[in-house]
Amino acid sequence: MATSMTVSAAPLRGEVSMLPSKSVMHRALICASLAGGMTELSPLLLSEDIQATLTACQTLLSNIHVSDSITVAGRHPLPEQAAVNCRESGSTIRFFLPVAAALGTHVTFTGEGRLPQRPLTPLFELFDQTGFSYMAQGNLPVTLQDKLSSGTLRIRGDVSSQFITGLLLALPLLGDSVLEVTTPLESRPYVDITLDIMNQFGITCSHENYRTFSVSGTYHSPGKFTCEGDWSNAAFWLVANALGGEISVSNLSPATAQGDSQIIAILKQCGFSVSEQYLVHSTGKIGTEKLCIDVSDIPDLVPILAVLGSFCCSEMQLTGAARLRLKESDRLSATAGELNRLGADITELEDGLVIRHVDALHGGQVSSHNDHRIAMALAIAAQKSTAPIVIDGADAVQKSYPAFWQELERLKK
């Protein structure tokens, strides 16, 4: 794929069936690999992040076959030593560190891009508290040399919910153990996704206000697991509809645990109605409201909300997003900087953004910062640009939505 894409304003019309949720597929792959037996995961998703988790599962846990779906065909013996490249996937490293520690295998984890700069400190603090033996050079590479002991595990919940998910996935492997979250938990919907999927694989989890978690049961295969559509990626098409598109979106569950389904409520706050096919229609209030949105539970929506706010309300303030500075890019700085370069009016805050209404963008050359969500947000922003937008690093979409550019071109026809 070309590293740059030129996107011009054009009517976007047609149908999009959403690919499987990346968040759901990560968790289901790990649960299926821990369960043994035969599990068929469908529909197929092979984004770069999912390939990183799939490879980790194959290396440490299970036999996996990929065709039109992903078939996990039973556990294999733990390797005495192994190496796992998590590529640029924060979910893979943060989920697998606790799981591998609970299994007690000697494994070295590495990563690429900005992943070695993304924090693992809460897990290292937990390892230190429990006397678990490991070696780390900064964050990565890290080598596990021990088996995590059962008991009470304590970790902060204000850095990333991914640490909580990893430990929850590990708890059934440890026996009589509980997880205590020592600070308020951010991004609770992602933990809800974890609890729901673990339940489908035989694990019952209870908690006290997301602070003390305990589990019961053992992993077992449900046979077939159907992965619901991805609301995080659907948000790009729904905002495109708010900007004038007519895209019917399918394969989304209204009764989802995915927090990014909140895009529907936010569109309504901006003065839109949303149909059953997720077509978006103005109710005549566009541009009149100032909104303040706490995005601590929906951080992945920030880049596309910055596009929505630029055209669909007088002012939108996004708060609770400080940890976005530690994503594939400094996502707050990248979102504000690239959209402002195109003519937007966005002020960067320590933990968020203030987005003011503009009538249109003027086009130009921008960078994705190797961040899939920045690349897709800039592409949708082009629908309100008077001149083409050239997006460098367009192949960043491979991380979560490999077919994004093909879908965009198809919707222009």
**How are beta strands 315-319 and 290-294 bridged, if at all?**
parallel
Mark whether 249 and 136 lie in a shared domain. Answer: no
Whether 2 has a pLDDT exceeding 60, the answer reads: no
pLDDT value of position 399: 94
Q: Which of 60, 48, 2 is nearest to 22 (CA)?
A: 48
Give the tens place of pLDDT for each residue, 49-74: 999 999 999 999 999 999 999 999 98
pLDDT value of position 287: 55
Mark whether 173 and 47 lie in a shared domain. Answer: yes
- C-alpha 47/C-alpha 395 separation (Å) is 12
Whether 239 has a pLDDT exceeding 80, the answer reads: yes
Domains identified in the chain, total number: 2
Mark whether 300 is an active-site residue: yes
- pLDDT category of residue 323 using cuts at 50, 70 and 90: confident
Mark whether 196 and 47 lie in a shared domain. Answer: yes
Q: Which of 230, 260, 300, 395 is catalytic?
A: 300
Mark whether 151 and 99 lie in a shared domain. Answer: yes
Mark whether 190 and 148 lie in a shared domain. Answer: yes
Task: Calculate the CA 66 to chain-centre distance.
Answer: 22
Q: Which of 201, 266, 257 is nearest to 239 (CA)?
A: 266
Rounded alpha-carbon distances, angstroms, from residue 354 to 307, 309, 350:
12, 9, 11
Mark whether 105 and 208 lie in a shared domain. Answer: yes
Whether 283 has a pLDDT exceeding 70, the answer reads: no
- C-alpha 325/C-alpha 49 separation (Å) is 19
- For residue 14, give its domain range: 4-19+229-411
Amino acid making up residue 35 = A
Mark whether 284 and 298 lie in a shared domain. Answer: yes
Give the tens place of pLDDT for each residue, 9-47: 999 999 999 999 999 999 999 999 999 899 999 999 899
DSSP 245-259: -EEEEES--TT---G
The last residue of one of the domains, among 209, 226, 243, is: 226
Across the range 377-395, mean pLDDT stands at: 98
Mark whether 199 and 172 lie in a shared domain. Answer: yes
Mark whether 11 and 32 lie in a shared domain. Answer: no
Of residues 313 and 385, more confidence is placed in 385
The last residue of one of the domains, among 226, 242, 261, is: 226
- pLDDT category of residue 1 using cuts at 50, 70 and 90: very low
Whether 350 has a pLDDT exceeding 60, the answer reads: yes
The last residue of one of the domains, among 173, 192, 226, is: 226
Residues 6+ apart with CB under 8 A from 46: 54, 66, 402
Q: Please report, for the domain that includes residue 149, its CATH number.
A: 3.65.10.10
Mark whether 170 and 255 lie in a shared domain. Answer: no
Mark whether 325 and 383 lie in a shared domain. Answer: yes
Task: Tell me if 212 sits within 8 A of 179, measured CB to CB.
Answer: yes
- Sheet with 353-356: strands ordered across: 290-294, 315-319, 353-356, 345-348
Mark whether 97 and 10 lie in a shared domain. Answer: no
